[in-house]
Amino acid sequence: MMRTLMKTLLLLVAIVVTAVPADAVVRVRYNMGGLMTSFEADLSNMRWRGEKFVIDGPCYSACTMALGALPRDQVCVTPRAVLGFHSAWNFDLSGRRVTNYVATQELRNTYPPEINRWIDLHGGLEPRLKTLRGKALAALVPRCPPQILQSGRVVPYDTSFPSPRKHVRTMVRARH
């Protein structure tokens, strides 16, 4: 009985150790965002695994949730990084974007105070995209050390949201 328990415990420890890549780097070179719930799940897993989240290009919309969903020492930016902020939205049945005020507030609650201050100084979250880059970005988010992209396993995290027409077709099909 005790031997079986020990074997089970050792197996569990082995699974956990192999499931956590200590040197993994998640690299964003072109991520236009997507569903907030999908990003929440991905970022929760990255936080648990301790993966570094390197923003090395455009990171728009829900992608920016990494700034608050991950510990500060897990997120960094390169000189090519651009963050894009806007209000959350959904498609209506005709395929038009409609602001979702509840989701927009949830998005704001995700960001750290310094990012929210920058957003407030630029008029708040609204449908029009606001970008943060260069020196202003480097003042708010840590710069990546040069060696980070040469070390460990680099995993791309580049996605885009489906077109409004495709999304509406999917919604209509799901209702039938």
- SS3 sequence, the chain? CHHHHHHHHHHHHHHHHHHCCCCEEEEECCECCCCHHHHHHHHHHHHHHCCEEEECCEEEHHHHHHHHHCCHHHEEECCCCEEEECCCEEECCCCCEEECHHHHHHHHHHCCHHHHHHHHHCCCCCCCCEEEEHHHHHCCCCECCHHHHHCCEEEECCCCCCCHHHHHHHHHHHHC
d(CA 10, CA 16): 10
Distance of CA 122 to the CA centre of its chain: 22
Residue 150: what pLDDT? 78
Q: Return phi, psi of residue 55, to 5°.
A: -95, 110
Burial 118-127 (b: 16+ CB within 10 A, else e): bbeeeeebee
Residues of the chain where predicted confidence (pLDDT) is lower than 50:
2, 5-20, 161-176
**What pLDDT is attached to residue 156?**
79
Angle between the N-to-C axes of helices 36-49 and 101-110, in degrees from 0 to 180, rounded to the nearest 10: 20
pLDDT digit string, tens, across residues 68-111: 999 999 999 999 999 999 999 999 999 999 999 999 999 999 99
Structural domain spans, the chain: 25-175
Q: Answer yes or no: are the C-beta atoms of 25 and 154 closer than 8 Å.
A: yes
Share the mean pLDDT of the chain.
81
pLDDT of res. 164: 41
